[in-house]
Structure 1
Amino acid sequence: MPLRMFSHRIETAMSAAMSLTQKGTPPELLTGAVSYAAAPGGARIRPTILLSVAMACGDDRPAVSDAAAAALEIIHCASLVHDDMPCFDDADVRRGKPTVHVAYSEPLALLTGDSLIVLAFDLLSRQDPDRALPLIRHLATRTGTPFGICAGQGWESESSINLSAYHRAKTGALFIAATQMGAIAAGQDPEPWEELGARIGEAFQVADDLRDALYDEAELGKPVGQDEIHNRPNAVTELGVDGAVTRLKDILGGAIASIPSCPGEAALAQLVQATAKKLIPEGKVNRVPGE
């Protein structure tokens, strides 16, 4: 189950979603900003995980899985637009190009993020009702507060941060959504899939901390050193580089072990291993969990 095998499905579903924003006579600049924010350029890892879980569970309604994958990615894109704004990270670059508020203006960036959020739920509402409702509920839970990415951003305004809750909401929430929504899209119980999503989310948080500390803007396509600038807690500050790499390996090993029993369990484990290779900084470790 290579990481690239779902790329065509994801981009086709994203294009179909973007076409919904172009009906009638919408404002040209806002429509352009929405498409700009959702354009290819990121790894699309969250929808890839969602489709991987759906496939492992049988993927009996691919159209529902594709819509769920697009909705999840659209929410992620919305979060990046808002995160980059001057009131938060004030970032000028994202995915190697100007951020939305730089390219289109701050007011349009705010409207773009809002429009993307609404679009994600509109897209899910068009699917088979028996699966659309639980998909909407799970995505809403992992988008808002107290358990979603809005809560994760909100923790940064608190005088005292609950680190576990902060990381689980800011980074883990959409990965939990990915695994659980993949199961729902395939008609399976989402609850056994929460741990896998949480572990993958934790791994991405540690990996992001490492990238923020070790790499430069040209390598990442976005500003670095943000944790230090904004005085945010991170794994490198707490554990050091070697300790953070060790922690990352441990989390990924636990993720593989947490995969629920399903027809595609072995293929899904291979995908997590492939993801591990991409997350662990080169030169820090020689092996990934499960090899």
Structure 2
Amino acid sequence: MRRGKPSVHRAYSEPLAVLTGDSLIVLGFEVLAKAATIVPERGIKLVLSLAQHTGVAGGICAGQGWESEPEIDLSAYHRSKTGALFVAATQMGATAAAQDEEPWHELGGRIGEVFQVADDLCDALHDAGTPSEPAGQDNLHGRRNTVTELGVDGARKRRRDILVGAIASIPSCPGEASLAQMVRMQAEQIMPVINPALVLVEGVVVEGLLAGTGSSPKTSMFKRRSARSI
């Protein structure tokens, strides 16, 4: 399930899902190529930027590849995986507006890290029964993430710190305050809606068997289960 709907490979088969992904990547370059006929210099820069941030050397493909490594630098992994696409978005926006793209690099990278930390929290704290992405996938596949490294509170603090840095890094521009507000609002929207009966404690999910009155569960009513099971 993805955002409450069956994923493409579930709805239409894995071969069609792979072909759809490949086609959408090519379509992105097609759109830029058509735009390049209007302002060739900017169009070439946009195509190059998209290629660099999706390819192997420093793009999302490299980040995905790191998931197969036994040891990774978590922050660098986040920057290469999700961060690369957000850097592409911020820098390509600047290029399209005929502005210097370099000042927008940090903002994109930090937004990407915020998104990834929030995604790690969602993976750890979402109830498996909610209609969203599958829960507990990082634990299931043995992937390191912010929650396993820092704990829930540490991951939340990490997210807050990165968000503060992201907003501070916004270059001076028209609409700067509105952009800061938008970044803040989007960061809040991607935070997990947590089942109050689930709390992650030292890598183990504690499921509170809540009383019918809705009062706080007593310690004796807790049932522990591995995070791998959700």
Q: TM-score, normalised by structure 2?
A: 0.78
Q: For residue 178 of structure 1, what is the aligned residue in structure 2?
A: 89
Cα deviations by residue, 1:200-241 (Å, 9 ceiling, x for unpaired): 111111101111111124545221101101111111111111
Q: For residue 254 of structure 1, what is the aligned residue in structure 2?
A: 165
Q: How far apart are 1:105 and its partner, in Å?
A: 1.7
Structure 2 segments unaligned to the other structure (5+ residues): 195-230
Asked if residue 110 in structure 1 is aligned to residue 21 in structure 2, the reply is no
Q: In structure 2, how many angstroms separate the alpha carbons of the residues matched to 1:241 and 1:159?
A: 22
- Correspondences of 1:227-238 after superposition (within 5 Å): 227-238=138-149
How much identity, in percent, do the aligned residues show? Answer: 66
Q: For residue 101 of structure 1, what is the aligned residue in structure 2?
A: 9
Sort the Cα spacing of 1:271 and 1:103 in 2 relative to 1 into closer, same or farther, 3 A: same
Higher-helix-fraction structure: 1
Sort the Cα spacing of 1:182 and 1:217 in 2 relative to 1 into closer, same or farther, 3 A: farther
Q: In structure 2, how many angstroms separate the alpha carbons of the residues matched to 1:218 and 1:183?
A: 41
Q: For residue 64 of structure 2, what is the aligned residue in structure 1?
A: 153
Q: For residue 165 of structure 1, what is the aligned residue in structure 2?
A: 76
Q: How far apart are 1:273 and its partner, in Å?
A: 2.0
**Structure 2 counterpart of 1:121, from 6, 13, 29:** 29
Q: TM-score, normalised by structure 1?
A: 0.62
What is the one-letter code of the residue matched to 2:90?
Answer: T
Root mean square deviation, CA, Å: 1.7
Aligned 8 A contact 1:199 1:255 in 2: yes
Q: How far apart are 1:281 and its partner, in Å?
A: 4.9
Counting matched residue pairs gives: 191
Q: In structure 1, how many angstroms separate the alpha carbons of the residues matched to 2:95 and 2:61?
A: 23
DSSP-derived class of the 1:142 partner: helix
DSSP-derived class of the 1:98 partner: coil
Q: In structure 2, how many angstroms separate the alpha carbons of the residues matched to 1:276 and 1:170?
A: 18
What is the one-letter code of the residue matched to 2:7?
Answer: T
Aligned 8 A contact 2:74 2:146 in 1: no
**Structure 2 counterpart of 1:207, from 83, 95, 118:** 118
Aligned 8 A contact 1:245 1:280 in 2: no
Q: For residue 227 of structure 2, what is the aligned residue in structure 1?
A: none
Asked if residue 278 in structure 1 is aligned to residue 189 in structure 2, the reply is yes
What is the one-letter code of the residue matched to 2:175?
Answer: G
Q: In structure 1, how many angstroms separate the alpha carbons of the residues matched to 2:70 and 2:165?
A: 32
Structure 1 segments unaligned to the other structure (5+ residues): 1-92, 284-291
DSSP-derived class of the 2:99 partner: coil
- Correspondences of 1:1-291 after superposition (within 5 Å): 93-127=1-35, 128=38, 129-219=40-130, 221-281=132-192
Aligned 8 A contact 1:227 1:234 in 2: yes
Sort the Cα spacing of 1:213 and 1:184 in 2 relative to 1 into closer, same or farther, 3 A: same
Q: In structure 2, how many angstroms separate the alpha carbons of the residues matched to 1:178 and 1:207?
A: 19
Q: In structure 1, how many angstroms separate the alpha carbons of the residues matched to 2:129 and 2:59?
A: 30
What is the one-letter code of the residue matched to 1:148?
Answer: G
Q: In structure 2, how many angstroms separate the alpha carbons of the residues matched to 1:172 and 1:257?
A: 17
Aligned 8 A contact 1:248 1:280 in 2: no
Q: How far apart are 1:165 and its partner, in Å?
A: 2.6
Aligned 8 A contact 2:122 2:191 in 1: no
DSSP-derived class of the 1:133 partner: helix
The higher relative CO (CA closer than 8 Å, separation ≥ 6) is in 1
Q: How far apart are 1:110 and its partner, in Å?
A: 1.6
Q: For residue 199 of structure 2, what is the aligned residue in structure 1?
A: none
Structure possessing the higher radius of gyration over alpha carbons: 2
Aligned 8 A contact 1:206 1:248 in 2: yes
Higher-strand-fraction structure: 2
Cα deviations by residue, 1:95-130 (Å, 9 ceiling, x for unpaired): 222222222222222211111111110011000322
Sort the Cα spacing of 1:277 and 1:99 in 2 relative to 1 into closer, same or farther, 3 A: closer
